[in-house]
Structure 1
Amino acid sequence: MSSATSKAKTKVPMLSDQDQPEIQQTYIRLQNELQALARKIGELESEADEHTLVLSTLDEALAEDPDRKCFRLIGGVLVERTVKEVNPALKTNRDGIHKVIATLAEQYKTKEKELDSFKKDYSIRPVQA
């Protein structure tokens, strides 16, 4: 009796031949969504790093000459501004990017838990070559 209870495992639902492709498609879809979120987070982190680099340069220029000309690309148009006008806008943009990254990171964690749960429910394991 004790050997039967010690070997108790989670029951895997019986799958028909029609269910398997559907499960595989769902698994692939979840993996693709995770990859897309990771890719977007990476892009935004890179953009935030660029903003930080530009801001460090502008901070130096702001200390020396706040009315110094600088150019900013807005919607594909290069616009002439002063350092004191551009600096706050860039800080706001960078902070917004960091907020979006945090939101996407939470979505990533949620999606990762969903994928792990799905893998556990259907006893999905990676195929070893």
Structure 2
Amino acid sequence: MSSTAAPEPKNEQEVIGIYRQMNSELQGMVQSFTKFEMDRNEHRLVEETLEPMDPDRRAFRLVGGVLVERTIREVLPTVTENRKRLDDLIEQVKTQMEAKQKDVSEWKAKYNIKTQEEVDAENKKR
């Protein structure tokens, strides 16, 4: 396995437990990825809205739950920097998700694990 080697299971229950845990971790990564993408899209929308406006126009920014008055000139660079950080974070999470997906697939193949959907599909073919 590539990134995190799971301990060798002693019985079938452990195999299934580790598989479920790996899938759970993967789902958590997918949720984080989705949240970060939504945040990035919001930042991009704010950038697109503010860029054509007068840089001296008032803008309000939420900082730690407090609404702070600034100018677009002060706010826009921060929004842009935050969006760039989110871009980097999304790429990192995407890489981690791909590695985890590979681990899950390898584990599934190694122990010949089949989901209920796969079993049902095989039964329909017969």
Q: Same fold (TM over 0.5)?
A: yes
TM-score, scaled relative to structure 1: 0.81
Q: For 2:52, what is the secondary structure of its paired residue?
A: helix
Q: Of residues 54, 65, 83 in structure 2, which corresponds to 1:94?
A: 83
Q: For 1:60, what is the secondary structure of its paired residue?
A: coil
CA offsets, 1:96-129, max 9 Å, x none?
0010000000000000010011011101112234
Q: For 2:43, what is the secondary structure of its paired residue?
A: helix
Unaligned runs of 5+ in 2: 1-8, 121-126
The answer as to 2:52 corresponding to 1:60 is yes
Indicate the residue corresponding to 2:124 in structure 1: none
In structure 2, distance between residues paired with 1:99 and 1:66 = 27
Aligned sequence identity (%): 35
Q: For 2:39, what is the secondary structure of its paired residue?
A: helix
- Greater relative contact order (Cα 8 A, min sep 6): structure 1 or 2? 2
Q: Count matched residues.
A: 110
Amino acid at match of 1:67: D
Unaligned runs of 5+ in 1: 1-15
Aligned Cα root-mean-square deviation (Å):
1.3
Q: For 2:51, what is the secondary structure of its paired residue?
A: helix
Indicate the residue corresponding to 1:48 in structure 2: 40
In structure 1, distance between residues paired with 2:108 and 2:20 = 11
Alpha-carbon distance, 1:44 to partner: 0.6
In structure 2, distance between residues paired with 1:58 and 1:26 = 48
- Larger C-alpha radius of gyration, 1 or 2? 1
Q: Structure 2 matches for 1:61-80, cutoff 5 A?
A: 61=53, 65-80=54-69
Indicate the residue corresponding to 2:16 in structure 1: 24
Indicate the residue corresponding to 1:106 in structure 2: 95
Amino acid at match of 2:25: E
CA offsets, 1:9-66, max 9 Å, x none?
xxxxxxx9x61111111010011111110111011101100111111110011xxx21
In structure 2, distance between residues paired with 1:75 and 1:21 = 46
Indicate the residue corresponding to 1:36 in structure 2: 28
TM-score, scaled relative to structure 2: 0.83
The answer as to 2:107 corresponding to 1:118 is yes
Q: Of residues 58, 74, 78 in structure 2, which corresponds to 1:85?
A: 74
